[in-house]
């Protein structure tokens, strides 16, 4: 993992869940977290010469998406000093995590990955993880937070919209040649404002250089 800390935790709204910076020994658990989902709708993309249209469309039967297990090794060249992974735990059970990296050239914080275990969805874990990413964005001086999501992942899209994200673009060929071929990548972003009073924080967070 990119960041470590000594027992930097904060109580969660959901019972006994605590949030802390990920440690190297968390790598295997993060890689094995079940990110699958089932959706009753997709965000259909229609493109044309004058732009594109995104419209939520019901589907029947529901679609279930299962992601392949990821390698827990680091395979990117992101500057370790400009990235952070926050994990949520209930005792030894991993509830979810968020990985984010800062790009100084355009003052953007990118959400590289955010996942919540199925049993913990709908309990505020994802929102709290995202708030920790927002805090990191403010520490870095980011102007906005950006993420990529598949057009079939309607549950995640609805969650992002509730968190203040808006559609800002798409790539209709990003997944070609992969197991997700046929899906479209939607890009979403939201501007960063001052922290909300009482918002969750990690104690002892290192500031972004």
Q: How many CA atoms lie within 13 A of 104 on its CB side?
A: 6
Max CA distance (Å), the chain: 53
Whether residue 86 contacts residue 97, with contact meaning beta carbons closer than 8 Å, is answered with yes
Residue 209: predicted pLDDT: 46
Residue 77: predicted pLDDT: 61
Q: What's the average pLDDT block by block, 10 residues per block, for the chain (209 residues)?
A: 38 71 96 96 92 95 88 59 95 97 97 97 96 97 97 98 96 95 97 70 52
How far is Cα 129 from Cα 93, in angstroms, rounded to an integer?
Answer: 16
Assigned superfamily of 18-191: Gcn5-related N-acetyltransferase (GNAT) (3.40.630.30)
Residue 102: predicted pLDDT: 98
Residue 192: predicted pLDDT: 94
Residue 40: predicted pLDDT: 98
Cis amide leading into 127 (omega within 30): no
Written as one string, the DSSP assignment of 128-181 is HHHHHHHHHHHHHT-SEEEEEEETT-HHHHHHHHHTT-EEEEEETTTTTTSTTT
pTM (2 d.p.): 0.85
Residues 6+ apart with CB under 8 A from 184: 45, 150, 151, 170, 171, 172, 174, 175
Angle (deg, nearest 10), helices 125-140 and 154-162: 60
Residue 9: predicted pLDDT: 44
* Helix, strand, coil percentages in the chain from 3-state DSSP, rounded to 5: 20, 40, 40
Residue 193: predicted pLDDT: 82
Residue 7: predicted pLDDT: 37
Residue 204: predicted pLDDT: 44
Beta bridge partners of 120: none
- C-alpha distance from residue 127 to each of 33, 49, 121, 161, 172 (Å): 17, 36, 10, 11, 28
Whether residue 85 contacts residue 11, with contact meaning beta carbons closer than 8 Å, is answered with no
Whether residue 190 contacts residue 133, with contact meaning beta carbons closer than 8 Å, is answered with no
């Amino acid at each position: 993992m990119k960041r470590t800390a000594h027992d930097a935790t904060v109580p969660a709204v959901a019972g006994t869940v605590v949030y802390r910076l990920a440690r190297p020994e968390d790598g295997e658990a993060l890689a094995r977290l079940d990110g699958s989902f089932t959706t009753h709708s997709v965000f259909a993309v229609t493109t044309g010469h004058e732009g594109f249209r995104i419209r939520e469309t019901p589907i029947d039967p529901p679609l279930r998406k299962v992601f392949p297990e990821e390698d827990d090794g680091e395979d990117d060249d992101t500057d370790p000093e400009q990235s952070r992974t926050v994990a949520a735990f209930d005792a030894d059970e991993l509830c979810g995590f968020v990985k984010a990296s800062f790009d100084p050239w355009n003052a953007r914080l990118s959400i590289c990955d955010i996942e919540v275990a199925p049993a913990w969805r709908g309990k505020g874990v994802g929102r709290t993880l995202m708030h920790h990413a927002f805090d990191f964005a403010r520490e870095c001086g980011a102007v906005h937070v950006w993420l990529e999501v598949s057009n079939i992942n309607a549950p995640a899209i609805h969650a992002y919209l509730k968190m203040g994200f808006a559609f800002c673009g798409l790539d209709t060929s990003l997944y070609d040649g992969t197991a997700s071929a046929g899906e479209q990548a939607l890009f979403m972003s939201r501007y960063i404002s001052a922290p909300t009073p009482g918002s969750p924080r990690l104690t002892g967070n290192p500031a972004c250089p």
